[in-house]
Amino acid sequence: MGKMKALAVTTDYKLKVVEVPIPQIADDCVLTKTLACGVCNGTDTKILHGSFKGFDTYPALLGHEAVGEVVEIGKNVKQWKVGDRITLPYLEMGPDGKYPGTEYYSAWSGYSEYTVARDWQAMAELGNGPGTPGFWDGYYTQKILPTDIDPIYGAMMMTFREVLAACKNFGFEPGMELVIFGAGPVGLTFTKFTKLLGAKTVVVVDIAEAKCGEALAAGADFFVNSKDRDAVTAVREILPNGADYVLDAVGVNELINTGLSIVKDNGQVCVYGISPKLELNLTWAQAPYNWGVKFLQFPVKAEEAAAHDQIINWLRMGVLNLKEYVSHIIPFENILDAFDLVEKKVLVKKIVIKY
């Protein structure tokens, strides 16, 4: 069995490029050679810092936004053929939770040079499909990326699918008035998608004035620099009656209280960003009498999978441009430099690792 390189987070929360065995596939799997993997400023960095809720298995192989090309196929596979490009491949862990032959647990392992996708239809025929113990609905998200989409930029597909699924899960509707906190890759995607879905007014709030042009280009009707102005006052000038929804797209718990000062009666604060802090002194003194707070901090994989075709349609229609969301393409050999940019809080959009 040959070796491959992968990115690991060590027990002392450091990044390290390591060598592990190339995976061996089961009859219902395909082996994929990784073409690209997006850097997630939220999940990846919180796992790196040991602050991702519920994750405590280190050392771990990192990465969850990969695109891989099928190079080997199991005999029972129905959905794919050699040469297909597959979204969200990963590494299968052994019964002890570790990647076989290593000490490493899974943090989805997408930065590995080779990964695996599992055909859920073949699994069903073999008796271990949906509804059976151990079946993961993430298998549904392992979809073909069409050949007319550059797989390097196609690493944005995971963000696109997750955000579109979240829009529907939160109940965003045509005609709504929405405030989005955060103009990073996720916030800008929410901005674009909510306008495509018919939002009447979208106000984007960020602490960096440099984000203004990007937010307006994504479809925002207004931009508020909350470093220079009080966000509640500024938003109330734009939306005197408040917003139907306020979305935290960055993961700052205090934004929940800020949002409660902005929402309309029966409005909702939507928490998508993942905060390392797991508690908040919630105050609704400035809130209307009726309101709600909804957390959606881990994608519902079946909903994400269902968003795939709509994203492909939008790309082909030209209403989405993948390149607008990617600021850096960095070769795998320099993957540590990519995370250095994130750690130094350099203003970036999506960083994609190219193999």
Predicted local distance difference test score (pLDDT) of residue 2: 95
> Beta-strand (E) ranges in the chain?
3-9, 15-21, 29-39, 60-62, 66-73, 85-87, 105-107, 114-118, 177-181, 201-206, 222-225, 243-248, 263-271, 291-295, 326-331, 350-354
What's residue 295's pLDDT? 96
Q: What is the pLDDT of residue 318?
A: 95
pLDDT digits (tens, 9 = 90+) for 173-189: 999 999 999 999 899 99
| Separation of alpha carbons 93 and 274, rounded Å | 25
pLDDT digits (tens, 9 = 90+) for 147-156: 999 999 999 9
**φ, ψ of residue 318 in degrees (nearest 5):** 85, 10
Q: DSSP for 193-214, please give it.
A: HHHHTT-SEEEEEES-GGGHHH
Determine if the peptide bond prior to 59 is cis (ω within 30°).
yes
Phi, psi of 313 (to 5 degrees): -60, -45
- Residue 347's pLDDT is 75
Answer for the pair 298, 323: CB distance below 8 angstroms, yes or no: no
Q: What pLDDT score does 332 carry?
A: 98
| Start and end residues for every CATH 3.90.180.10 domain found in the chain | 3-145+321-354
Give the separation between CA 234 and CA 250, rounded to whole angstroms. 19
pLDDT tens for the chain, 355 residues long, are 699 999 999 999 999 999 999 999 999 999 999 999 999 988 999 999 999 988 999 999 999 999 999 999 999 999 999 999 999 999 999 999 999 999 999 999 999 999 999 999 999 998 888 999 889 999 999 999 999 999 999 999 999 999 999 999 999 999 999 999 999 989 999 999 999 999 999 999 999 999 999 999 999 999 999 999 999 999 999 999 999 999 999 999 999 999 999 999 999 999 998 888 889 999 999 999 999 999 998 889 999 999 999 999 999 999 999 999 999 999 999 999 999 999 888 878 899 999 9
H helical segments located in the chain: 43-48, 120-125, 157-170, 185-196, 212-217, 231-238, 254-260, 301-306, 308-317, 335-343
The label of the residue with tokens 């209280």 reads: 257
Strand pairing report for 114-118 and 66-73: unpaired
Question: 78-81 long-range CB contacts below 8 Å, 24 or more apart?
Answer: 78/119, 78/121, 78/122, 78/125, 79/119, 79/121, 79/122, 79/144, 80/30, 80/117, 80/119, 80/144
* Domain 163-295 CATH superfamily: NAD(P)-binding Rossmann-like Domain (3.40.50.720)
Q: What is the pLDDT of residues 71-102, one digit of tens each?
A: 999 999 999 999 999 999 999 999 999 999 99
**pLDDT value at residue 214:** 94
d(C-alpha 314, C-alpha 255), whole Å: 31
Residue ranges, comma separated, of all CATH 3.40.50.720 domains in the chain are 163-295
Residue 9, token pair as written in the block = 């987070």
Angle at 193 (CA atoms; ends 275, 235), nearest 5 degrees:
65
Q: Which fold has domain 3-145+321-354?
A: Quinone Oxidoreductase; Chain A, domain 1 (3.90.180)
